[in-house]
Structure 1
C-alpha cells in the first residue's frame, strides 16, 4: 500500500484502461476521482481502488456535457483539494462501415471521444493555471496516426486529439508553463468495449492482434504521469511498427488494411443478439463489466517495447556499449591477423 497524497482524476474509469489506471494509482495510495456514467461500473471501480489501497470518489458524469465536466472538476477542487493529474480516457465508438453510420451516431462518438477530452482538459486547466502546476495525460491510440476500416468515427476522434494536444502543448511551452501535457499511444487492448460497443458487424468485434491487457496500458499511463516532459509514449511493438510503417510506406499500409482490416477486427463467433450498446446510455448501469474484456486467453501482460520506451537512456547506453565492444573486437581481430 502506497502513501501517495496526490489527487488523480480519471475519466472513463469504469472499465478497461481507465479502470486499470485508476486501480494502479490507488495502489500508490492516491485519491482517485472516477468520472464515468454507469452506476454499477462506478461502484465496482471504486471498490477496486479502495481494495488496492487508495481512496475512491465516484462522480457520475457524461464527458460530452461540458458544464457537467466543469462542475465535477469544481467539486473535486472544493471538496478534496488541488487536482494533480488529470487522465482523459473516456470514449465510445461504432464498429461499422462509414456509410452505415448515421450523422447522429458520428456526432455522438465525436462529442464523447474527442470533445470529452477537450472538455476534460479545459476543466483541468481552469484549476491548474492559477497555480501553474499539474499534469494532463491524454490516452491515445496507434489510430491517432493511422486510420483503419470500420472505425472511422473513433479514428477521426483520435486524430483530432493528437492535433489538439500538440497545439496545447506548444502553447504551454511558449508560456514557460509548469503544466505538462503528454499523450500515450495504445495498441489493441482487452477491454470490455468489445462487449458493449455499437456494432453493425456480423461477427463479434475484437481488437486487432496482438492484444495487450489493460494493466500494460495503465503502467504506461502512470509512467507518463510521472514523466510528462516527454511529448508522447508508444505502447506495444504493434504500435511502434504501425506508426513507423505509416510514416514510411502509408500507401502500402492502405492496401494491407483494405485486405486484412475487416477480418482482423472480427472474431469467428457471431455477434451476440443481446449485446448492449453504450453509445447513448451506459451499458454498465446495472452490470459491472470489470476491467478486462473477453479476450484474456489471447492477451499478453507484458510489453518489451514499453520498457524500451520508458528507458531510452539505458537503451542508448546499452547500444553504445555493444557498439564499443564490437569495434574493439574488430580492432583486436585485425591486430591478431597481422
Structure 2
C-alpha cells in the first residue's frame, strides 16, 4: 500500500500530549482527520484535550501513561492497536527539565530526567517499532532539541538526555535502513519554544527559567511535524536559530564555547527576573488542565526557516543551507 498515508487515514500516537507542543500537535493532526492517541501522566489534562478535539469533530483516545515504565508504554502501543488496528505515526515528545549546575543536581534527579527524556523515547520507539514491523510500515518521530547539538550551562541533565536521543535515533534509523524496512525515523530539533515546559521545570537557579532566545511558537513546530508525517525527513530543524547553532557548532565548537560565556550569555539568557514558585513536574505531574502556550510571547519570532527550507523539496533543503554554511565558514576565516 502507498505510504505514508494521507493524514485523514492515519492513527497517530503522541506522548507528552497534555501540554505544550504535544497538545498542539494533537489538535493539528486531529484537524487534518487523523485519529490521535493521547498519552501523558496527567489524565485530567489529556481528557480536556480529547474533549476539545471531539467538539471539533475529531477522533481522540486517551491512555494515561508514564513513559518511565516499559509496561505502561507497551500497554499504550497495544491499546492503540486494539482500538484502531494500527499505528501509522508515533511521536515521542514527553520530556522534563532541570535548571541547575551539575554540582547542585542530585543523583535521583539525573536518574529521573534521563529516564523520562531518553529511556522514555527508547521505550516508545521500541514499542512502536514492533507494531510497525508487524504491519509493514510506519513513521517514528523523536524529539531532540537544538541542545542535541550544542550544550548550554545549567541544563547538563537535559543536554545529556537530548544528545542521547539524537544518538539513539540515528542508530535506530540505521538498523531500519539495514533491514530495508519501510519505516521512517525522524529527529526533530527545535530551538526554544513558548510552552509551559519552562514553568514546569525544576529550578535551582532561584528564578523562573526561560527558553534561550530567540523563541518560537508551538504552532510552528506542530506544523512541521504534521508535514513530516506525510513527507518523511531525516532531521528537522525548527527555527532558524536551531539550524544556525548547529552549523556554528560544527564549524567551531570552541567559538561557540566563547559565545556562550560572553557576558555570561549562556546562563543569563535562561533566567527570568521572577522568583521560582517551587513546583515542578519532574517526579509527578502538576495538577492543572494543561495548555499549549507559555509566558514568553514577548520573546517569540516567526519561524520562516522551517517553512522555507525544511518543508521544501530536497534540492532547496540542500542548496540554501550549503550556501549559508559556506558564508559562515568564510566569515570565520576572515
Normalised by the length of structure 2, the TM-score is 0.89
Q: Given the alignment of the two structures, is residue 279 of structure 1 paired with residue 278 of structure 2, yes or no?
A: no
Q: Which residue of 2 aligns with 1:197?
A: 201
1:160-185 per-residue CA deviation (whole Å, 9 max, x = no partner) reads: 11111111111111111101111111
CA distance in 2, matches of 1:22, 1:234: 20
The runs of 5 or more residues in structure 1 that have no matched partner are: 320-338
Q: Given the alignment of the two structures, is residue 247 of structure 1 paired with residue 258 of structure 2, yes or no?
A: no
Are the structure 2 counterparts of residues 318 and 175 from structure 1 closer, same or farther at C-alpha, using a change threshold of 3 Å? closer
Alpha-carbon shift at residue 318 of structure 1 (Å) = 9.6
Is 1:49–1:56's contact at 8 Å kept on the other side of the alignment? yes
Alpha-carbon shift at residue 313 of structure 1 (Å) = 4.8
Q: Which residue of 1 aligns with 2:42?
A: 38
Larger Rg computed on CA atoms: 1
CA distance in 1, matches of 2:130, 2:276: 43
Q: Which residue of 1 aligns with 2:303?
A: 303
Are the structure 2 counterparts of residues 209 and 33 from structure 1 closer, same or farther at C-alpha, using a change threshold of 3 Å? same
Q: Given the alignment of the two structures, is residue 139 of structure 1 paired with residue 136 of structure 2, yes or no?
A: no
Q: Given the alignment of the two structures, is residue 268 of structure 1 paired with residue 273 of structure 2, yes or no?
A: yes
Displaced runs of 4 or more, over 4 A: 316-319
Q: Which residue of 2 aligns with 1:332?
A: none
Is 2:310–2:317's contact at 8 Å kept on the other side of the alignment? no
CA distance in 2, matches of 1:165, 1:112: 16
1:245-303 per-residue CA deviation (whole Å, 9 max, x = no partner) reads: 1001111111221321111001122223xx421011101x3x12311111123323x31
Alpha-carbon shift at residue 221 of structure 1 (Å) = 0.8
Structure 2 matches for 1:296-335, cutoff 5 A? 296-300=297-301, 302-307=302-307, 308-313=309-314, 315=316
Structure 2 matches for 1:10-49, cutoff 5 A? 10-49=14-53
CA distance in 1, matches of 2:56, 2:230: 19
Selected match of 2:8 from 4, 18, 23: 4
Q: Which residue of 1 aligns with 2:218?
A: 214
Q: Which residue of 1 aligns with 2:167?
A: 163
Question: What is the aligned-residue RMSD (CA, Å)?
Answer: 1.8
CA distance in 2, matches of 1:168, 1:147: 23
1:130-168 per-residue CA deviation (whole Å, 9 max, x = no partner) reads: 122111011221101111111111111110111111111
Q: Given the alignment of the two structures, is residue 69 of structure 1 paired with residue 73 of structure 2, yes or no?
A: yes
Are the structure 2 counterparts of residues 51 and 318 from structure 1 closer, same or farther at C-alpha, using a change threshold of 3 Å? farther
Is 1:139–1:221's contact at 8 Å kept on the other side of the alignment? no
Selected match of 2:63 from 54, 59, 65: 59
